Structure 1
Amino acid sequence: MPTPPDPCLTPTSRQAWRRIPALTASLAVCLVATTLQAAESHQTDETMERLLEMNVTELAGIKLSTLSRKEQKLVDTAAAVTVIDAEEIRRSGMTSIPELLRMVPGMNVTRINASTWAVSTRGFQHQFSNKLLVLMDGRTLYTPLFAGVNWNLQDIPLADVERIEVVRGPGASLWGTNAVNGVINIVTRKTADTQGNRASITGGTVETLRGELRHGGTFSDTLHYRVYASGMDHADFRRADNTGAHDDWNARQQGFRLDWQPTPRDEATLQGELFAVKENPSRGDKQGGHLLGRWSRDLSDTRNLTAQLYYDHKVDTSFEVTRILDLDTQYGLRTGRHVWIMGMGYRLTSMELDDTALIQWRPKSRRDHILNLFAQDEIALASDWILTLGGKIEYQDEKGIYPQPNARLLWRASDTQSVWGAVSHAVRIPSSVDQDFRLTVPLGAVNLALRGNPEIEPEKLLAHELGYRFQPRGDLSLEIAAFYNRYDHLISLENLAPLPTPPTLRQFYANKGEGTTYGLETAVDWRVSDTWHLTASHAWLKMNLDVVDGSTDTTTTASANDIPRHQWQLRSRLDLPHDLELDSALFHATRIRNLAIPATTRLDLRIGWRPTASLTLSLAGQNLLDDRHPEFTAQMVTPSEMPRAFLASAAWRF
């Protein structure tokens, strides 16, 4: 097996640690030099009903927990963050998590076929977008097999989702390896907020039938629960030649959640689910489930302790069984000007893999142990300056130790303006595909043999970010985020000497790629009136990828053009008389040059009617400007085209 490239060609983690203080000092000088004109605003307290009605970019009161592992106001975060709340989810007309993510500025969401999405942020778009960490209630959805997310397995009822928090940029200092370009945390609602019964049914031209049933109840004043079941059938798409793609699929899911507050200082949660997904043509049914328990205790007014344990089990009947056991503990402390978050965790991942006609695994089973320690200190330097320093150290038994530091600085220039900057180091650890994968494909008179590399090293990122938020009036806000990312040790596809008998071209994975990305993301939110809300955003991204001297890779440089250079969107929510709702969204992405995907413009419309407080009826149309169009291609699945779609739905609470 070939050896990986000389590590002297790229910065090591130790060098990244040493560069953090100098970069942070430069960032601080830049922030101090920035002069902003103050504006006056009046902030009012918001009731729970008002929170549910707020748009994602109303910064005054929305709270999130992903960036700092504690609840904090969005306006006080030194990061590019978007929160999709429950009301926005309800009025989007979307029925899946990846489709909802289209609303996030700078998020690349493309559909490869009926059951497969490519979702990324700040570049590196791929069916297996391996630099984006996705969590649900703190449980990772990132699969160690191919380093990505099976989005069609995350078919939870969207009515049970309280919010989706999206951090664009590294989150590795708290969430660890693989939180390289961003973190998505899907937060479900507490059981006290889902009492009673709810039933919904949806039917349409593409998602032919979806049904959901939920019951919430109480065992006592301090113990609430909910149980639910859902199922959906999805029609197939069509290919460019108008033939059927035969990529229809269906999903079934059942789950429960218990929330218990035995004392005013204690909270406990137990939740679990079972799922089954069947795709056509069958690549093996996917089944599995998880069980998660979490306990939190306020030790005092300034100290808090949280522990979480979950077990995740997934089976792909064609070749894979994956089991994950994860323990995470966290201690929070507020003292003087400091707010500390610290903790440790352990993860055991076990995989058993079977060979198929084309793919082999060496070894066929893998067991990985990962230990981690993390700490973060949020320091109030002055009434309007907040410095956050932190880092996470992870140890994997086969790969060693990975330090991932982070420094963030926030300046509240006035009641209406804030400036922030950050410098972060993150790594993406190799997946089983990177290390153990063996593919042999006949190509006419020759074979192509692709091999993983057991000695592959983690991919590394050093990220620089700068952002600005401005809310000149209570009904208008602006957010701008700029970034410059430097990547090293990117995985490349290298050539070996071919074999003469049988004629075989040989390739393997190595760490000879490198590159930079930089971009600008802008979002504007305007509450035109009490009944009309507008949101607009634009994202520009440039990627420059290359390989080091001596590499034989021919794909890395071209893959810099696997993304659209520009994306923009305009969304409107309008409340009409007689309890009617009119919602619209216009999305645009420029062409993807390397994949020959033309520029696309998508128009979605939704009309909703709430004749009673417990009944909601709606009609929605998606991709109304086009019969169908391609959005992305991938090597491992047959692509099809995104069609125009119509949906009718009814939801009843009783």
Structure 2
Amino acid sequence: MRQSSSRSTFIPKGLSKTTGFFLGSLWALCGVLPSFAGVNPDSQATDSRLLLTEELQWLQAESIVYTASRREQNVADTAAAVFIITQEDLRRSGVTNIPDALRMAPGIEVAQINASNWAITARGHNDRFGDKLLVLMDGRVLYSPIFTGVIWHEKDTLLEDVERIEIIRGPGAALWGSNAVNGIINIITKKSQDTQGGLVVAGGGSEERGFGAFRYGGKIGGDWAYRGYLKYFDRDKSWTPSGEDPNDQWNTAQGGFRIDGTPNTLDTVTLQGDLYDGEAGSAENAFIPPSANQTHREVGYQYSGGNILARWNRTWSKDTELTGQFYFDQTFDEYQYDDKFNILVRTYDFDFQHRFPLFDLHGITWGAAFREVDDHFTNSATIAVNPTDKSSSTYSGFIQDEFYLVDDVLKCILGAKAERNDLTKWEILPNARLLWKVDNRNTLWTAVAKSVRLPNRFHADVTDLYFDPLPENALYEGSPVAYFVAKGTHDFEAETLLSYEIGYRTYPSNQLHLDLTGFYYDYDNLRSLEPHLESTTPVTTENGTYLAIPVPSENKKSGQSYGVELSAEWQALPSWRLSGSYSYLEVLLQVDADSMDLRESFDAKYPKHQVKIQSSLALPMDTEFDLSFRYVDDIELYNYDGYLEMDTRLGWHPLPNLDLSLIGRNLLNSSHPEFRENTFYTVSSEVERSVYGKMTWRW
């Protein structure tokens, strides 16, 4: 952690942000060319052949996607905005966590709040608990039923086990259900057969104080394989411009296993699970009744959990298969204030899917699912939920039909999902897509879909969550301090989105891939926080009297968003790959005439422009050099200026099974802010420059 209170800024004073934006992009794209122009490709033939083999594997992995249609297919055959992060991308980036890996994807906003918390979304509406992005890991839903969104510091795996991360920008509710509103992320890990032998990872540095992992895989007979892993990391606290201690150091220990088998020629079976235990912290400038002044307090946070998943698949042909999956997931979170606020959540999920051809013209995929969530709360003095114990169930079924209107040229995809939950009852989620294969190098697609974001447990049942006090005399002459108090309601309806997308995908050559997507979103029934002044009541405690103004969640907001996303990948040389993206986003929100919404304005809480550029180069003597730049535009709500950052990795393979890396992250600024979290008044901190080393040994 840096102790200095000064902060360097990469963009000089007097240089406009727009100019800095384009200069930074130009430097990132072209500045590396002179540096490596003197490398003779003939002098590194062995390295080039090795990298070319890796790139062919990368191209093959990238061409396959599952999430877009719940079956494996070529990316060129998908009517959706798809981006894939491969294992090779993860290795070459040097990242140590999933959120930082997602920074590579176009149209994805990744903003770090402090050392252990992130706000991540696709196409706007970002927050610490980003509620419009559905995230899966091997078919297991990571989306929290309590807060909505993903609690990112709890969701981890051994990155070396990840085969690919599939990112779908745009709705996917017709296949994956509610909360798949702005996008879907599916983290897919390798089969046990692909992780045989041993693996050791170790490293550390300035912010990554230390991390390590061990994995071993083997065979069980001729048709079964297994692996097991252990990992641990310890991360330093971040830095605050105010000089306050952010108290956000973070460490976690995790272990897991996976078993894959083929008991016969038709069936495959998978059994996998994880256990984890960790602790983090934060600092808050909280409001505690009856005072109207903020109180600085440190918050401890301990979490633990585990999951187990079983999946069976029977495949009769490439077009006919049957899959059944069950998983159990448990999380326990303890927030340590002056007293403790605990949350225990158990999830039971069963999913069934069948795929078959109909009359040799239609490809039918249908399925059904059931999920039960049981939770238990231990309330504190400043936050409470009633009832403290609750069970909720969700039933759903879906069907999708893929067929060609013109053979191998024009494909139509129609589908819908029907879902019933305990809060909003029935939700019908239709979807229509059209794919035109202009030729074998050019594809056009368009889509119209409806999706919903469901209320969470807090929206329904919170009874005491105090925020934003009004000073004395604010309501009337002589009035005491007045507090807004979040109150649950079962009248809050699902937020809805009607989306329109169009995309163009082209391969001008075998070395170049371009992808262009445009979208328009129409939101309705968005959440607003509506104070009911007429229901204000006095509350007397041993410390004094204050007024409590109830604030339930209501649906008095609507909005639109639109944008463009462009991505490109270029195999410039057999030993050199370049990729990059640009995304533009505009969000417009309106409230009803009778609304008194207290929520932050999301139409000023996002970057309009993002640029991301990556370079991966193989050098002589078994070395690699990776370089990435990203520009993220202003966030007006927080008065955060846009920033330009650079990450680097220098890798060396002294032995075929040994990888040594030196990684630098956020090198252009000593620190920079990315996001602010105001729900719990967390002390704002900044992302710091960091350097660390990493060793990976396989046998």
User: What TM-score do the two structures reach when normalised by structure 2?
Assistant: 0.84
Per-residue CA shift, 1:482-526, capped at 9, x if unaligned? 000000110001111163633334322101110000000000111
Q: Which residue of 2 aligns with 1:648?
A: 693
The equivalent position to 2:617 in structure 1, one of 574, 588, 601, is 574
Shift >6 Å, 4+ stretches: 47-51
Q: Which residue of 1 aligns with 2:7?
A: none
Q: CA deviation at 1:152?
A: 0.8
Distance in 2, Cα, partners of 1:301 & 1:617: 41
Q: Which residue of 1 aligns with 2:656?
A: 613
Q: CA deviation at 1:398?
A: 3.8
The equivalent position to 2:401 in structure 1, one of 363, 370, 377, is 377
> 2:634 aligned with 1:591, yes or no?
yes
Q: Which residue of 2 aligns with 1:334?
A: 357
> 2:216 aligned with 1:215, yes or no?
yes
1:444-593 map, 5 Å: 445-497=481-533, 499=536, 501=538, 502-555=546-599, 558-593=601-636
Distance in 1, Cα, partners of 2:213 & 2:347: 28
Q: Which residue of 1 aligns with 2:414?
A: 389
Q: Which residue of 2 aligns with 1:23?
A: none
**Structure 2 contact 134–184 (Cα < 8 Å) conserved:** yes
1:55-94 map, 5 Å: 62-94=63-95
**What SS class does the counterpart of residue 532 from structure 2 fall into?**
strand
**What SS class does the counterpart of residue 103 from structure 1 fall into?**
coil
User: Which amino acid is 1:531 matched to?
Assistant: S
Q: 1:460 to 1:475 in 2, by over 3 A?
A: same
The equivalent position to 1:362 in structure 2, one of 360, 363, 386, is 386
Distance in 2, Cα, partners of 1:96 & 1:114: 12
Q: CA deviation at 1:427?
A: 0.6
Q: CA deviation at 1:48?
A: 13
Distance in 1, Cα, partners of 2:79 & 2:346: 35
The equivalent position to 1:53 in structure 2, one of 41, 50, 55, is 55
**Structure 2 contact 137–186 (Cα < 8 Å) conserved:** yes
Work out the percentage of aligned pairs sharing the same amino acid.
Answer: 37
**What SS class does the counterpart of residue 155 from structure 1 fall into?**
coil
Per-residue CA shift, 1:436-468, capped at 9, x if unaligned? 123125836332312122221100000000000
Q: 1:361 to 1:52 in 2, by over 3 A?
A: farther
**What SS class does the counterpart of residue 280 from structure 1 fall into?**
strand
Distance in 1, Cα, partners of 2:68 & 2:495: 22
Distance in 2, Cα, partners of 1:452 & 1:132: 23
> 2:325 aligned with 1:308, yes or no?
yes
**Structure 2 contact 51–574 (Cα < 8 Å) conserved:** no
Distance in 2, Cα, partners of 1:430 & 1:101: 26
Q: CA deviation at 1:570?
A: 1.1
> 2:269 aligned with 1:265, yes or no?
no
Q: CA deviation at 1:220?
A: 1.1
1:119-134 map, 5 Å: 119-134=120-135
Per-residue CA shift, 1:225-267, capped at 9, x if unaligned? 0000000001000111244311001001010000010112110
> 2:499 aligned with 1:440, yes or no?
no
Distance in 2, Cα, partners of 1:485 & 1:539: 15
Q: Which residue of 2 aligns with 1:118?
A: 119
Q: Which residue of 2 aligns with 1:13?
A: none
Q: Which residue of 1 aligns with 2:368?
A: 344
Q: 1:599 to 1:442 in 2, by over 3 A?
A: closer
User: Which amino acid is 1:641 matched to?
Assistant: E
**Structure 2 contact 627–648 (Cα < 8 Å) conserved:** yes
Q: CA deviation at 1:52?
A: 4.8
Q: Which residue of 2 aligns with 1:430?
A: 455
**Structure 2 contact 175–416 (Cα < 8 Å) conserved:** yes
1:77-226 map, 5 Å: 77-226=78-227
Distance in 1, Cα, partners of 2:268 & 2:52: 25
**What SS class does the counterpart of residue 541 from structure 1 fall into?**
strand
User: Which amino acid is 2:500 matched to?
Assistant: H
Distance in 2, Cα, partners of 1:633 & 1:431: 22
User: Which amino acid is 1:528 matched to?
Assistant: A
Distance in 2, Cα, partners of 1:534 & 1:337: 40
**Structure 1 contact 59–74 (Cα < 8 Å) conserved:** no
User: Which amino acid is 2:355 matched to?
Assistant: G
Distance in 1, Cα, partners of 2:537 & 2:420: 42
Distance in 2, Cα, partners of 1:584 & 1:301: 40
Q: CA deviation at 1:337?
A: 2.1
**Structure 2 contact 281–301 (Cα < 8 Å) conserved:** no
Q: 1:564 to 1:346 in 2, by over 3 A?
A: same
Q: Which has the larger radius of gyration?
A: 2
Q: Which residue of 2 aligns with 1:604?
A: 647
Q: CA deviation at 1:157?
A: 1.1
Distance in 1, Cα, partners of 2:279 & 2:627: 32
Q: CA deviation at 1:60?
A: 9.5
Distance in 2, Cα, partners of 1:245 & 1:446: 28
Q: For structure 2, which runs of at least 5 residues remain unmatched after alignment? A: 1-48, 283-298, 335-340, 472-480, 539-545
User: Which amino acid is 2:579 matched to?
Assistant: T
Q: CA deviation at 1:562?
A: 0.3
Distance in 2, Cα, partners of 1:50 & 1:62: 16
Q: CA deviation at 1:125?
A: 0.7
**Structure 1 contact 337–381 (Cα < 8 Å) conserved:** no
Q: 1:478 to 1:65 in 2, by over 3 A?
A: same
Aligned residues: 606
Per-residue CA shift, 1:95-145, capped at 9, x if unaligned? 100100000001000000000000000100100100000000000000100
Q: Which residue of 1 aligns with 2:293?
A: none
**Structure 1 contact 296–307 (Cα < 8 Å) conserved:** yes
The equivalent position to 1:320 in structure 2, one of 324, 338, 343, is 343
**Structure 2 contact 200–214 (Cα < 8 Å) conserved:** yes
**Structure 2 contact 442–506 (Cα < 8 Å) conserved:** yes
User: Which amino acid is 2:685 matched to?
Assistant: S
Distance in 2, Cα, partners of 1:304 & 1:154: 30
**Structure 2 contact 484–531 (Cα < 8 Å) conserved:** no
The equivalent position to 2:315 in structure 1, one of 279, 298, 302, is 298
**What SS class does the counterpart of residue 91 from structure 1 fall into?**
helix
User: What TM-score do the two structures reach when normalised by structure 1?
Assistant: 0.90
**What SS class does the counterpart of residue 412 from structure 1 fall into?**
strand
Q: Which residue of 1 aligns with 2:40?
A: none
Q: CA deviation at 1:595?
A: 1.4
Please, what is the CA RMSD of the aligned residues? Answer: 1.8
Q: Which residue of 2 aligns with 1:638?
A: 683
Q: 1:299 to 1:227 in 2, by over 3 A?
A: same
User: Which amino acid is 1:408 matched to?
Assistant: R
**Structure 2 contact 62–84 (Cα < 8 Å) conserved:** no
Distance in 1, Cα, partners of 2:108 & 2:125: 11
Q: CA deviation at 1:182?
A: 0.4
Distance in 1, Cα, partners of 2:325 & 2:52: 31
